Every structure is written in C-alpha cells, then in structure tokens.
C-alpha cells in the first residue's frame, strides 16, 4: 500500500471510529488515529490498493448516485413483475470495460440492482440471472437487447469515471 493510500485509509478508519464511539473529543480522535495506524500497518500486505486504477472522483460519485436511482427504478419494476407473473432467464452479456477493478464494480452493480444477479465473470463475458415479466413471445427480443438493458447506462457512466 502506498503512503497516499495509507493516509486515506487512516482518515477513513478514524472517521468510522469516531462514529462508533459517538464522541468527537481529543482523546477519541487520538486513540482513533493510533488504532487506525496499527490496523493499516498490520493489514498493509492484505490490501492490494496499489493495483487500483485512477478514478475521476466526481464522475464516480455521479455514477454511485445514478446507481442508487437505478436500484429504486428497478425495484419498482421488480414489484410489478413479482405481483404479475415472473419469468427468469440466464443471459450472457459482454462488457467493454478494460480494467478488472471496473469490471468488478460493474458486476457488483448488476447484483445490487433488483431483478438481476451476476453468476460469473470470465474475460469480457458476464453471466447474469435476469428477472423479467412473462410475455407471449418468451422475451426473445429482450434477450437480444440484454446488454443495453442490463449494463448499457451503467457501463457508459463507468467508462467516463475511468481515467
């Protein structure tokens, strides 16, 4: 772990310590910093942060907000599907992301959005379990557009966040 990442880690852990201690006096902050330094020191070999690619912070925050909105949009659609008639499909979609870090974020985002759970990531291929509304044409057209429906917008926003 680089020095810059260590400092970010210490700040984050100290903030969590203050929240859990429910006080912000000097003693709490000092003990928090010492405990955080110890944690980072002993775990430095376990956290592979130097491999993390550079991220455009603001774009990434916009992505997280968009993902939060998507969770609710997909949630309301899932309610409709659950109350009518559900149909599940295992589809394979391809991602354009190059870095493994962003691919992992994309796959986790797919699982976080209600109505889809990722089953595997192999190279550029993502296997997704997909909840759909049952239709007469057995969702044939939807499967062809699965890439766009499942990861289209998320992927475009994530590419913008990649530096």
Partner 1 sequence: MVLLGDIIIGLGTLCILIGIIGFVKYKSFYTRILVTTKIETVGVITIIIGVAVRHGLSFFSLKVLLLMIMMIIINPLVSHVIARCAYLTGYKADGKIKDNNPYENSEEN
Give me the 25-64 binding string for partner 1, x by CB under 8 A, dash otherwise: ----------------------------------------
Contacts 24+ apart (CB under 8 A), 102-111: 102/53, 102/158, 102/161, 102/162, 105/158, 106/151, 106/154, 106/155, 106/158, 109/67, 109/70, 109/154, 110/150, 110/151, 110/154
Which one among 16, 34, 43, 61 touches partner 1, defined by CB under 8 A?
Answer: 16
State how far the alpha carbon of 35 is from the alpha carbons of 3, 4, 21, 163, in Å.
17, 18, 13, 33
Note whether 149 binds partner 1 by CB under 8 A. no
Give me the 129-148 binding string for partner 1, x by CB under 8 A, dash otherwise: x-x-----------------
Within residues 73-92, the interface with partner 1 by CB under 8 A covers 75, 78-79, 82-83, 86, 88-90
Binding site for partner 1 (CB under 8 A): 16, 19-20, 22-23, 71-72, 75, 78-79, 82-83, 86, 88-90, 107-109, 111-122, 127, 129, 131
């Amino acid at each position: 772990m680089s020095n810059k990442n260590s400092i970010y880690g210490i700040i984050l852990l100290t903030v969590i310590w203050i929240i859990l201690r429910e006080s912000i006096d000097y003693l709490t902050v000092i003990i928090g910093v010492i405990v955080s330094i110890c944690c980072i020191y002993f775990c430095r070999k376990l956290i592979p942060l130097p491999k993390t690619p550079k991220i455009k912070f603001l774009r990434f925050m916009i992505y997280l907000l968009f993902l939060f909105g998507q969770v609710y949009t997909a949630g309301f659609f899932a309610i409709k599907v659950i109350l009518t008639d559900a149909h599940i499909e295992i589809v394979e979609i391809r991602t354009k992301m190059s870095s493994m870090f962003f691919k992992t974020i994309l796959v986790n985002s797919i699982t976080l959005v209600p109505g889809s759970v990722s089953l595997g990531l192999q190279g550029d291929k993502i296997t997704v379990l997909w909840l759909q509304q049952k239709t007469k044409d057995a969702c044939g057209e939807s499967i062809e557009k699965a890439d766009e429906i499942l990861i289209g917008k998320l992927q475009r926003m994530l590419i913008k966040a990649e530096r």
